Chain A
Amino acid sequence: MSDLNLKPNLAAPDAFYEELIATHEGLQDDESAALNARLILILANHIGDSDVLSAAMKLAKDPASVSS
Chain B
Amino acid sequence: MLQDRYSLAFKLYPYARRADQDATEVVRHPVVVIGGGPIGLATALDLGRQGKPVVVLDDHEGVGQGSRAICFAKRTLEIAQRYGCGQPMVDKGVVWNLGKVFFDDRKIYDFNLLPEDGHRNPAFINLQQPYFEKFIHDQIVAEVAQGAPIDIRGKNRVEAITSQDDHVVLDILTPEGPYQIEADWVVACDGASSPTRAMLGLDFEGRVFEDSFLIADIKMKNNEFPTERWFWFEPYFKAGASTLLHKQPDDVWRVDFQIGWDVDRKEELKEENIRKRLDALLGNDAEYEMVWSSIYTFQCRRMKEFRHGRVIFAGDAAHQVSPFGARGANSGMQDVDNLGWKLGLVLDGNAPEALIDSYHEERAFGADENILNSTRSTDFITPKSKTSHMFRNAVLELAEHVEFPRSIVNSGRLSLPCTYDGLSLNGADKLEGGPNRTRVGSPCPDAPVADGFLLDKLGGGFTLLTIDADAPNELDVDGVAVSRLALNGTDKHLAERYLGAAKSAVYLIRPDQHVAARWSTYDQTALEAALKTACAKG
User: Which positions in A face B, CB cutoff 8 Å?
Assistant: 33-34, 37-38, 40-42, 45
* A41, B405: Cβ atoms closer than 8 Å: yes
Q: How far is the CA of A56 from the CA of B391 in the complex (A)?
A: 17
Q: Which residues of B contact A34 (CB under 8 A)?
A: 390, 393-394, 397
* B405, A37: Cβ atoms closer than 8 Å: no
* B394, A38: Cβ atoms closer than 8 Å: yes
Q: Which residues of A contact B397 (CB under 8 A)?
A: 34, 38
Q: How far is the CA of A33 from the CA of B394 in the complex (A)?
A: 10
- B395 proximal to A (CB < 8 A): yes
- Nearest Cβ in chain B — how far from A15, in angstroms? 25
Q: Which residues of A contact B423 (CB under 8 A)?
A: none
Can you list 12 A-B pairs with a CB-CB distance of less than 8 A?
A: A33-B387, A33-B390, A34-B390, A34-B393, A34-B397, A37-B390, A40-B391, A41-B394, A41-B398, A41-B408, A42-B398, A42-B404
What string of 1s and 0s marks CB contacts (under 8 Å) between B379-398 and chain A?
00000000100110111011
Most buried by A among B394, B397, B398: B394
Q: Which residues of B contact A37 (CB under 8 A)?
A: 390-391, 393-394
Closest to B399 in A: A41
- Nearest Cβ in chain A — how far from B399, in angstroms? 10
Q: How far is the CA of A24 from the CA of B257 in the complex (A)?
A: 36
Q: Which residues of A contact B404 (CB under 8 A)?
A: 42, 45
Q: Which residues of A contact B408 (CB under 8 A)?
A: 41
Q: How far is the CA of A47 from the CA of B436 in the complex (A)?
A: 25
Q: How far is the CA of A60 from the CA of B391 in the complex (A)?
A: 17
- Nearest Cβ in chain A — how far from B95, in angstroms? 32
Q: How far is the CA of A10 from the CA of B397 in the complex (A)?
A: 28
Most buried by B among A33, A37, A45: A37
Q: How far is the CA of A10 from the CA of B353 in the complex (A)?
A: 63
Q: Which residues of A contact B387 (CB under 8 A)?
A: 33
* A41, B390: Cβ atoms closer than 8 Å: no
What string of 1s and 0s marks CB contacts (under 8 Å) between B388-421 and chain A?
0011011101100000110010000000000000
Most buried by B among A34, A41, A42, A45: A41
Q: Which residues of A contact B391 (CB under 8 A)?
A: 37, 40-41
**Interface contacts beyond A34-B394, A37-B390: sample of 20 additional A-B pairs, CB < 8 Å, sorted by A:** A33-B387, A33-B390, A34-B393, A34-B397, A37-B391, A37-B393, A37-B394, A38-B394, A38-B397, A38-B398, A40-B391, A41-B394, A41-B395, A41-B398, A41-B405, A41-B408, A42-B398, A42-B404, A45-B404, A45-B405
